Amino acid sequence: MKKDLLINSSGILLNILEKIFDANIEVKGIENIPKDNPKIFVANHFTRMEALLVPYALYELTNKKVGVIADDSLFHTYFGDFLEDIGAMPKSSPFRNNTIIGDLITGCKDWLIFPEGLMVKAKDISKQKNHFCVKINGTCQVVHTGSAFFALNSQLLRNDYFNKKIKNFKKFQHKYFINECKDIKEQETMIVPINISYSNLRTGKNFLLDMVSKFMDNIGEHFLEELEIESNIVLNSKITIQILKPISTQDILKDIYKKEKNHNNIINKYRYELTHRFMDNIYKNLNINFDHIFVLIIFLYPKKSINKNHLKRMIYLLWNQLKENLFSYNIEQESNIINLISYEEFLPFENILKIALKDNIILEDKVNYFLNKDALLNSYTHHTIRLKNILHVILNEVLIIDKLNILAKNLVLKEKEEIDRLLLSTLEKEEHDEFESDYEKFKDFPNIKDKEIGRPRYYNHAVSDVCIITLHGFSSSPKEVEQLSKFIRSKEINVYSPRLKGHGTVPEDLQNTTWKDWYLSLSRAIIIATLKHKRIIIIGFSTGGLLSLLSTKKCYMEFAGIICINTALHLNDIRVKTLLPAVSFWNDLVNSVHANSYAKEYIDNHAENPDINYDKFYIKAIEQLSKLMVKTRENLKNIQSPILIIQGKNDPVVNPASAYEIFEKIKSKEKDLVILERKNHVIIKGDNTKELYDEIYKFIKKIEE
């Protein structure tokens, strides 16, 4: 079926806008759209663009026009033609109700209705008995039940038709404008709730706002406010259109239809309950993002000041509980959220904090944040709150989600020590579950390592308050650093050997990870160590040395120094230096002619310790290692931490020039370089380790003093 030319040509405008302005639009729950049923979509309402964007998105999915009731003023704007193309209807249309009912009876067109009745700029929604109430400048307006009326009435009329209760069919046709459709749809009318969510809601000047201001005179304040909000959404936000499970009208009516003859009595019996049901579903299925969690914790925290790390840890724990309790949330913000609590910059936090500081909702010193709840709760007016207090708008979105508020309250009432214990157990469980999940995924592979080889390891000593993190190398596992770890433990010092993601299982696991995944594994290990111990030293072997160098950008008081052993800044392996570029070129060549079966995915590895290391290197994994080498090299100039650099003189894998470059480029005042007469790469294990271990222990003792 060809698409209607009008909507298709108008849709080109939206396609172009989406590409030019990089509007990030995601539609979730497509499987919830009934295929053949007449549908009335119901959604929350925050911006004018929703009356354009959502019908267009639904049309693209269903290839069927979706009408919308829009404010009369919109039909006198630039978007008026587009609204008419998609079948929109002004609120004041005298034939509005009968047209909608007719479309739902025949299935000729679906409809989208915003039951809130207007844009809810403050998102201030509350429950009053069995109704939802929209607050506008302090006045409560009950959510409209018109959409429930349309859905129920259309189904009752359909039932009447198929039960031969329509006495004058021509009059019936004329009343509901159904002459053009030959058949009345047998399938029932279904109500499809939709939640429209925005992440990264921001205000401020932008080029779209400036452009409109230059070309239009006498722009009203309300229009300017809407333009600033919606232009920033187009330029900066992610828009999530979440389609929820449909509601059957026939299920509601099947028992009462035969008992009650008066349609109005039936509709009035169910319209309020039905409206509350689907609006509750809409509000509860907000796509929760980082801003929501940040502002909710700030709002519920019972004290006037809060330790910076304590705030971040509570936010992390609440975010973690979103997954456990099956909330809808912004998965894109999850990948590196460990950075929030691992003593370095986490951009979503820095961005929302900047707004809180600008609006005087938060003040800060080096250790604490000071909370100004009065500033946070300033409601301003319906038309100004989005510009003057966007954090209050974001807060209002989540205040209506009872379950989330209960979880948050349980966290903010806990003391700092209890939060730290909870965080520690959460992170240790994450580490354990990640390995178990990865191992389970590859358990049937013939070359999978013994489970104990890849498992993270702890060598605890109750007396010591120092912890040494020992990091294994590329394609290896915690087993690689076991001998070194046991030596350090014999000196009555705690040792922790985390597993870098993708390692300790099969080469195929490493193929699908990035250097950032390895770094996040170390980040989690550092947090675990700081929650248990007062001083932290990181020892990194080979690729572990790269990661330890990169981790020096973290700022935490427990950090004492690092030891890098045969750090893989430059490699001797001729296969990596020459064969990898050739293989990459070959793969690009065969892929370009669609001969993918000839692509080379890996090179064989004749490992020094084949029981521990993988027997092949996937090209993708080596490319990630190369990226890590570049990233680490760029960071050397920023390193000022105490450091011991150890390098085997005749390392066959790592070029000894790596150690000299590290020593020369770092800015550390306390730095030592030790070159050992060794011919192998894995010098941290075996019989010839005494000299190496003595150097390591000497550095540790110096740090401890």
CATH code, domain with 471: 3.40.50.1820
- Are 491 and 508 found together in one domain? yes
Q: How far apart are the C-alpha atoms of 516 and 533, rounded to whole Å?
A: 25
- 162 within a domain of the structure (yes/no): yes
Q: Quick one: pLDDT at residue 163? A: 94
User: SS3 of 260, please?
Assistant: coil
Q: How far apart are the C-alpha atoms of 170 and 530, rounded to whole Å?
A: 79
- 609 within a domain of the structure (yes/no): no
User: SS3 of 60, please?
Assistant: helix
- Are 57 and 144 found together in one domain? yes
Contact in structure between 348 and 291 (CB atoms under 8 Å)? yes
- Are 326 and 354 found together in one domain? yes
- Are 409 and 469 found together in one domain? no
Q: Which two tokens stand for residue 429?
A: 């469980």
Q: Is the dihedral of CA 131, 135, 136, 139 positive or negative?
A: positive
Alpha carbon distances (Å) from 42 to 110, 112, 192: 11, 6, 6
- Are 59 and 133 found together in one domain? yes
Alpha carbon distances (Å) from 494 to 124, 226, 463, 472, 542: 52, 58, 9, 17, 22
Q: Quick one: pLDDT at residue 320? A: 96
- Are 295 and 440 found together in one domain? no
Q: Which two tokens stand for residue 616?
A: 């092949």
- 611 within a domain of the structure (yes/no): no
Q: Identify the domain containing residue 216 by its residue range.
A: 206-236
Task: Give the other-Cβ count within 10 Å of 250's Cβ.
Answer: 15
- Are 659 and 681 found together in one domain? yes
Q: Which two tokens stand for residue 240?
A: 């999530």
Burial 457-479 (b: 16+ CB within 10 A, else e): bbbebeebebbbbbbbbbbbbbb
Write out the E strands in 268-403: 305-307, 362-364, 368-371
- Are 182 and 221 found together in one domain? no
Q: How far apart are the C-alpha atoms of 111 and 65, rounded to whole Å?
A: 8
- Are 250 and 126 found together in one domain? yes
CATH of the domain at 244: 3.40.1130
User: SS3 of 587, please?
Assistant: helix
The rounded average pLDDT for each run of 10 residues, N- to C-terminus, in the chain (705 residues) is 47 50 78 96 94 87 88 70 76 90 93 94 91 92 96 97 92 85 86 97 83 70 84 86 98 94 96 97 97 98 98 98 91 91 96 98 98 96 94 98 97 98 98 98 96 96 91 98 98 97 97 97 98 98 98 96 97 61 50 49 85 92 95 97 97 96 97 97 96 98 87
Q: Quick one: pLDDT at residue 607? A: 84
DSSP, res 573: -
Q: What angle (nearest 5°) sits at the alpha carbon of residue 221, between those of residues 215 and 222?
A: 105
Residues 6+ apart with CB under 8 A from 215: none
- 363 within a domain of the structure (yes/no): yes
H or E, element range at 190: strand 190-199
DSSP, res 359: T
- Are 256 and 214 found together in one domain? no
- Are 348 and 232 found together in one domain? no
- 600 within a domain of the structure (yes/no): no
Write out the E strands in 213-361: 238-243, 247-248, 305-307
Final residue in a domain of this structure, among 226, 255, 284: 284
- Are 424 and 546 found together in one domain? yes
Q: Number of folded domains in the chain?
A: 4
Q: Which two tokens stand for residue 337?
A: 């959220």
Final residue in a domain of this structure, among 386, 414, 442: 414
- 468 within a domain of the structure (yes/no): yes
Final residue in a domain of this structure, among 264, 284, 304: 284
Q: Quick one: pLDDT at residue 100? A: 94
- 618 within a domain of the structure (yes/no): no
Q: Quick one: pLDDT at residue 216? A: 67
Q: How far apart are the C-alpha atoms of 37 and 406, rounded to whole Å?
A: 38
Compute the CA torsion angle 444, 450, 451, 457 (nearest 10 deg): -150
Contact in structure between 485 and 563 (CB atoms under 8 Å)? no
- 542 within a domain of the structure (yes/no): yes
